[in-house]
Amino acid sequence: MTSVEQSPLTRKLSAFVALSDVELAVLERLHQRRRTFIAGRDMVHQGQSAQAAYILSAGWVCSYKLQADGTRQIVDFQVPGDFLGLRSVLLRTSDHSFEPIVDIEAAEVLTSDLLEAFARTPRLATSILWAASRDEAMVVEHLVGIGRRDADARMAHLLLELSSRLMLVGLGGKEGYDCPLTQYHLADALGLSAVHVNRVLRKLRESGLVTFRDGHVTFHDYGGLVKLAEFDAAYLDQTGPLLK
Amino acid sequence: MTSVEQSPLTRKLSAFVALSDVELAVLERLHQRRRTFIAGRDMVHQGQSAQAAYILSAGWVCSYKLQADGTRQIVDFQVPGDFLGLRSVLLRTSDHSFEPIVDIEAAEVLTSDLLEAFARTPRLATSILWAASRDEAMVVEHLVGIGRRDADARMAHLLLELSSRLMLVGLGGKEGYDCPLTQYHLADALGLSAVHVNRVLRKLRESGLVTFRDGHVTFHDYGGLVKLAEFDAAYLDQTGPLLK
DNA sequence: CGGCCATTTGACACCTGTCAATGTCTGTGG
DNA sequence: CCACAGACATTGACAGGTGTCAAATGGCCG
């Protein structure tokens, strides 16, 4: 299997651990059950217990929580190479919903498949748990952002985080990336109103920092954006002693 | 060992699972290494990798993340019966700091002790992972709160959450509880300024809902507070199929 | 007694939400 | 081909929630 055919997840993990051929094979085997989901219809609904997790191979998803008053808070976005509902499977609980933002392709991973893979290749298990830990760090970082950054910095931070995550799987680079989110998605993720999201985007554009338009993010001043957001990618790249 | 002598953690887990005598014994053995920490000095500092986790047996702790501009965001509070740094140990990463809010007592749990206990009593392992999952659900709930609730509802929600958590370990009831937090702690947890926290507390007090004063929270209208916060304790009590 | 910390309060500015209207684009059906 | 509806984006006016600044109060401890 050449590197061109690698799944995004494989690509992502390989950036952090040198996986052996056996481990790579087991990993690719997890991608057997290919499924597609259409945009806008929930894959897993709040409160429903999940039988399986998914590895996203193409498209974007958001995980969110609905409130009694109808507003929603997007907890995180998933891009190719990310797990969906990994914790739901490992811990058998699920308290938020997943909605495909566009039509997506994902590999279904049964709990039994996952546990079997873990048993065979402990290093792979570690890698996947690392990915789960990274997801958590992102949620915490979002909490910090919403709690302690103003709207401009929050937006800049989110756009930069997505950039970093996408670059890991070969989608986009420092000049920009394709992004199917609407301004409503951004609003629900950042704790802002859609109207204000629009204002913020205009300001960032007119400041010559970044343009978000027609499903594409274009960085005009990456460094300036990093400074505005005080973006430190450490929480995304924590290698640490985990993978010895 | 009579129920009076049970540790808060034992008490909490027992509320959700009927643990056998063996399991209880293993659990209590995890409490061997008793340590104390003084208020205000970090136990684990951001970025430092943890060798051990702690089970908090008395006192309050907060876990927080510092930003470059000096502001801080408190991610969660820990009360007796809670784990400190459980994920740090399981996943060997730690990206936030822990600070005792008052002088505390905690039991140090080495990674090896924990893994050994897990190996001996799978049901105990499941219970502890349940606790970890509950911690995550709380972080998500805080994210939703900061993103989508106004200051009054956020405050009400936090006070109610702490109440529920403390009741589980026998500290306080529906009439109130002791709470050593300062208004600065509340501000850093809720993403507000300390001045505004004061205003919110006054409003809640003058509305006859709740009083926060002299280290004590007193509920005057529990139901009214629940309604204001749209508080649904489901995320704290998820029993689910986890514990069959 | 004199600091120091937490709390409290008022005045004011400003960030962000809400409401409302308009523009643009796409897909659909006549 | 055109009319129309619907979703998303854009913009302005205005209101309100929250932050900031500053000052006063009170309790605790050396």
Taking residues B131-141, report their average pLDDT.
90
pLDDT of B146 > 80? The answer is yes
Q: Is the pLDDT of residue B47 over 80?
A: no
pLDDT at A84: 93
With CB atoms and an 8 Å threshold, state whether A142 touches B143.
Answer: yes
Cβ atoms of A74 and A131 within 8 Å: the answer is no
Percent of chain A with pLDDT over 70: 90
Which band of pLDDT confidence, cut at 50, 70 and 90, is reported for residue B92? low
Q: What is d(CA B147, CA A71) in angstroms, rounded to the nearest whole number?
A: 10
Q: Is the CB of B195 under 7 A from strand C?
A: yes
Residue B72 and residue A149 in contact, taking contact as beta carbons nearer than 8 Å = no
List Cα–Cα distances, B106 to A235, B135, B181, in angstroms.
Answer: 28, 18, 19
Taking CB atoms and an 8 Å cutoff, what residues of chain A touch B142?
Answer: 143
B67: nearest CB among A71, A140, A230:
A230
Mean pLDDT confidence for A46-55: 75
Nearest nucleotide, CA B153 to C1'? D17
Cα separation, B201 vs A85, in Å, equals: 38
- State percent of chain B over pLDDT 90: 66
Q: Give the pLDDT score at B164.
A: 96
Contact by Cβ (8 Å): B227, B207: no
Pick from B101, B68, B106: nearest CA to B84: B106
Å separating the CA of residue A150 from the C1' of nucleotide C12: 20
Cβ within 8 Å, pair A146-B191:
yes
Q: Cα–Cα distance between A186 and B40 in angstroms, integer?
A: 37
Identify the pLDDT of residue B52. Answer: 84
Cα separation, B193 vs A194, whole angstroms: 25
Q: Crossing angle, helix B122-148 and helix B183-190, to 10 degrees?
A: 90
Closest CA to B169 of B110, B94, B92, B82: B82
Kindly state the tokens that stand for B187: 């501000």
Same fold, B4-137 and B139-236: no
Confidence of residue A94 (pLDDT cuts 50, 70, 90): low
Mean pLDDT, rounded, for B168-194 = 96
Closest approach of A2 to chain B, Cα-based (Å): 31
Give tens-digit pLDDT for B148-174: 999 999 999 999 999 999 999 999 989
> What class is the B4-137 domain?
mainly beta
Q: Please give the C-alpha separations between residue A75 and each of B26, B65, B80, in angstroms, as whole numbers.
A: 36, 18, 28
Categorize the per-residue pLDDT at A52 as very low, low, confident or very high, splitting at 50, 70 and 90.
confident
- Which has the higher per-residue pLDDT, B238 or B129? B129
Closest approach of A128 to chain B, Cα-based (Å): 11
Q: Which CATH class is domain A139-236?
A: mainly alpha
Q: For tokens 């309604």, what's the residue?
A: B227
* pLDDT, mean of residues B90-108: 85
Average of per-residue pLDDT values in chain B:
89
Q: How far apart are CA B193 and CA A181, in angstroms?
A: 32
Position B70 confidence tier, pLDDT thresholds 50, 70, 90: confident
A96 pLDDT above the threshold of 90: no
Mean pLDDT, residues B1-26 taken together: 83
- Closest C-alpha to A161, from A124, A210, A203: A210
Asked if the model's pLDDT at residue A222 lies above 90, the reply is yes
pLDDT confidence of residue B159: 98
A73 and B139 within 8 Å at the Cβ level: the answer is no
**pLDDT score of A111 more than 70:** yes
In chain B, what are the domain boundaries? 4-137, 139-236
Q: Do B87 and A232 touch (CB under 8 A)?
A: no
**Residue B106 clears pLDDT 90, i.e. is over it:** yes
From A72-76, A157-161, B96-100, the region with the lowest mean pLDDT? B96-100
What's the mean pLDDT in B98-111? 94
Q: Is the dihedral of CA A177, A183, A188, A192 positive or negative?
A: positive
